[in-house]
Amino acid sequence: MAMDADEIVRLIKDALPDAQIRLVDTAGDANHYAAEIVSEAFRGKSKVAQHQMVYKALKGRMGGDLHALSLTTSAPAD
């Protein structure tokens, strides 16, 4: 089952309201995405912790409705 890009963005924005998100459907199948996410909430956190925050925002849909999501996360540049 595919997951709509707008839904992915909405879920992330619900959890990280300040997030700037660039989402690309890498295979054209609404099932494989790459996301670049910038949020102040990531500041001071490890990459693992940042990615866990995104996965939590997706509310268990990773691996089910959403097959693959490549993440690049960071805090805003100073």
CATH number for the domain harbouring residue 29: 3.30.300.90
Amino acid 60: pLDDT: 80
- Are 23 and 8 in contact by the 8 Å Cβ rule? The answer is yes
Q: For residues 68 and 18, what is the distance between their CA atoms, to the nearest angstrom?
A: 24
Mapping DSSP to helix (H, G, I), strand (E, B) and coil, where does residue 24 land? Answer: strand
pLDDT digits (tens, 9 = 90+) for 60-74: 888 777 888 999 999
Report pTM.
0.91
> pLDDT, tens digit, for every residue of 1-51?
678 899 999 999 999 999 999 999 998 888 889 999 999 999 999 999 999
Domain count, the chain: 1
In this predicted structure, what is the pLDDT of residue 1? 63
Question: What range does the domain containing 57 cover?
Answer: 5-74
Residue 61 pLDDT: 82
